[in-house]
Chain A
Amino acid sequence: MKQNLPNVDHLTVKYALDDMEPAESQILQAAMRDDQDLLIEAESQRRIWQRISALPTLSAPSGLLEDTVRVAVAARRKPQARILAISSPWRWAAAACIVAVVSLSVMRSGNDSALVLPAAAGSETSSEPWVDNRDVIRLQAPGGATAASAPVSKDSVSKLVPINPDNPAGTSSTTRQVQLTGSQRTP
C-alpha cells in the first residue's frame, strides 16, 4: 500500500512536523491504517522532531554584539571615505596616464599593422623579396638599402613598367621602395 501512494515518505515528514494539509492528513491516516511499519516510522520521526523542537536558541556573546555593531558601522562608513579619496587630484593624474597609455598603444598598433614583415626582416643581410599587407612585393627591408639588396633592386626596376608614369617607381621615397604590378601596361 505504501508504494501505491505518491510522496507518502514526504507525508510522514509533514506529519512529524505537524505541517499537513487536511487532504494530506487523510491520505496518510489511511495509509498508516494499512501499514503498521509506516505508522511506526511516522511516530518515531515525530518523536525525534519533538526533541529538536525543544532545542533552545543561543544568544550571541554580548561582546560579539558590541563588536559587530562597531565593525558593521565602520564598514558602512568606509565606502564613503573611498569616494572622497578618489575625488583628489590623483584621480585626474591616473586618468591622464590611462589615456596616454591607451593612445600610445593604439598608435603603435596602427604602425605595426601597415607592414607584414618576413621572418628575417630584421636581418640586414636579407635580400629576399617580401610582400606587405597590400600585396605589394618589396625588395628592401624597412631599415634601408643594403649592399646585398641593391643589385637585385636595380635589376628589378629596369624590368618593370611604372604604375604611374609621372612618378615612376616611387623614386621620391627616401627608402627607394619599388612597387610592382602583375600586369603589363601598354604605353
Chain B
Amino acid sequence: MNRYTELDDHQLVRLYRQNGDEGAFRELLGRHQAKIYSYIYSMVGNQDTANDIFQETFTKVITRMDETYNEQGKWIAWVMRIAHNSTIDVLRKQKRFVDVTSKDEDDADFYERLTDDTATDAQQHVEMDEDKARLMRHIQRLPAEQREVVMLRHFYELSFKEISELTDVSINTALGRMRYALINLRKLFEQEELNEAKSTER
C-alpha cells in the first residue's frame, strides 16, 4: 500500500499539477483505467485501436490538465469526456459510426480475456463467459449511437442527463437510443436462439 492510495482524485491531481508527481498520475491511471479502457474497447471492438485511443486519451489528459481541467469538476468525468471524444473521432474517421457490421473476429480476444469473480466452478465460468461473449457480439452490432448510450450508462454509470450532455443530444433522444438498443438486443438474442434451434433440428 503506497501513500497515494489514501488520497482522493482531487488531491492526486493537485499533487501532479503542482509537483509533477508521476506516482500520483500512476495512481489516478490505475484507479480508472478499467472503466475507460472497457468503454473504449466496447465501442471500437478492436484491441489495437482501443490501445491507441487509450494512450491518446491519457496523453491529452496529461498535456491539457493545466489548461482545460477545472478542479471544481470531477476529474474522472473530464477524462471520460476526453476518452469519449477520442473514441468518436476514431469511429468517424473509420466511417463506422452508423455501421452495424459484425466484427466477430476482432472481438475474439476480448471474450477470451473476460473473467468473472462470481463464477463458482469451471462449468459455470465457461457458461457465463459464453453468455457475455454473445452479448458483446450483439452490442457490437448495434449502431454506434445506441452502443455509446449503453456503454456510457454501464461502464461510466452516467445519468441520462449526463449522457445527453456528453453526446450533445436531448435527454429524450438519449432515452430513445437506449430503448432502441434494448429492443435491438432482444431481437438479436431471439434471432440467435432461432438459428440455434434450426441448426439443432437439422
Interchain nearest-CB distance for B114 vs A (Å): 6
Known contacts being A13-B175, A17-B153, A45-B186, is A58 close to B38, with CB within 8 Å?
A: yes
User: Which residue in A57, A69, A71 is a CB contact (below 8 Å) of B22?
Assistant: A69
A10:B63 contact, CB within 8 angstroms: no
Q: How many residues of B contact A (CB 8 A)?
A: 48
Which interface class (under 10, 10 to 19, 20 to 34, 35 or more) fits A? 35 or more
Distance in angstroms between the alpha carbons of A64 and B61 in the assembled complex: 16
Bits for B4-44, please: 1 = Cβ < 8 Å to A, else 0. Answer: 00000000000000001010011001100111111001000
Interface of A is mostly: helix
- Interface membership of A125, Cβ < 8 A: no
Q: Give Cα A69–Cα B136 distance, bound, in whole angstroms.
A: 29
A60 touches B114 (CB 8 A): no
The answer to whether B172 touches A58 (Cβ under 8 A) is no
Q: Which residues of A contact B55 (CB under 8 A)?
A: 64, 67-68, 71-72
Interfacial chain A residues near B154, Cβ < 8 Å: 52-53, 55
Q: Which chain B residues numbered 118 to 167 have a C-beta less than 8 Å away from chain A? A: 128, 131-132, 135-136, 139, 150, 153-155, 159-160
Cβ-defined partner of A57 (8 Å) among B26, B35, B61? B35
When distances are taken between beta carbons in the complex, the residues of chain B under 8 Å from A67 are 55
**B62 near A: Cβ within 8 Å?**
yes
CA distance A52 to B178 in the complex (A): 12
- Tell me if A44 and B26 are in contact (CB < 8 A): no
Write the nearest CB–CB distance from A89 to chain B, whole angstroms. 28
A49 at the interface (CB under 8 A from B): yes
Q: How far is the CA of A71 from the CA of B114 in the complex (A)?
A: 27
Query: In the bound complex, do residue B172 and residue A48 qualify as a contact, i.e. CB atoms below 8 Å apart?
Result: no
Q: Report the minimal beta-carbon distance from A39 to chain B, rounded to whole angstroms.
A: 15
Question: Is the C-beta of A16 less than 8 angstroms from some C-beta in chain B?
Answer: yes
Q: A67-B55, A76-B63, A79-B63 are in contact. Are A56 and B33 (CB under 8 A)?
A: no
Please name the 4 residue pairs, one residue from A and one from B, whose CB atoms are nearest each other, closest first.
A60-B37, A72-B62, A10-B175, A57-B34
Using CB atoms and an 8 Å cutoff, list the residues of chain B in contact with chain A.
20, 22, 25-26, 29-30, 33-38, 41, 51, 54-55, 58-59, 61-63, 110, 113-116, 128, 131-132, 135-136, 139, 150, 153-155, 159-160, 172, 175-176, 178-179, 182-183, 185-186, 189
Offer 20 A-B interface pairs, CB within 8 angstroms, sorted by A.
Answer: A7-B175, A9-B176, A10-B175, A13-B175, A44-B182, A51-B131, A52-B150, A56-B116, A56-B132, A58-B37, A58-B41, A58-B113, A58-B114, A59-B33, A65-B33, A69-B25, A72-B61, A73-B25, A73-B62, A75-B62
